[in-house]
Amino acid sequence: MPNVKVLIGFLCLFSGYVAAAPAPAEKDVAQAVDQLTQAMLHLDLKQLHALTSDKLTYGHSSGKVQDKAQFIADLETHTSAFKTLEMQNQTITLNGDTALVRNHFHALAVNSGVEVPTDIDNFQVWQKQKGKWLLIGRQAYKY
């Protein structure tokens, strides 16, 4: 009987651990968000192209909306650049091949040569296409 109690205890402990563990797809989305963040920070054009949909709509907190080419061109020409960039307080909600990501965008941006501390919130839409998570939409807003 004591062995049964120990076994039940371990099963309960393990099932709680499994339930608390993020889903593999959620980890994949979090990794894609991190890869995009690093690509923006370090101006990795290959990664920027690889992680964004050709039909990307990228909205800024100012109301400006860009397509993929415009978004990448602003980074490439240093119209927008970053000395620091991190996504904080991130949540990911999965629905099939779509992931809704909310996070806080904390950065020291450099806009046309001027350093600008930036703290805004983001809503990103990621979609799994041909086995890869791609950013298809982003809207930043002031919190």
Domain spans, the chain: 22-139
Contact 112, 140 (CB under 8 A): no
pLDDT at 17: 45
Collapsed DSSP state (helix, strand, coil) of residue 39 = helix
pLDDT in tens, the chain (143 residues): 556 554 455 445 445 544 455 579 999 999 999 999 999 999 999 999 999 999 999 999 999 999 999 999 999 999 999 999 999 999 999 999 999 999 999 999 998 889 999 999 999 999 999 999 999 999 999 98
Q: What is d(CA 45, CA 57) in angstroms, rounded to the nearest whole number?
A: 17
pLDDT at 5: 57
pLDDT at 115: 95
pLDDT at 63: 95
What is the topology classification, in CATH, of domain 22-139?
Nuclear Transport Factor 2; Chain: A, (3.10.450)
pLDDT at 7: 45
pLDDT at 143: 81
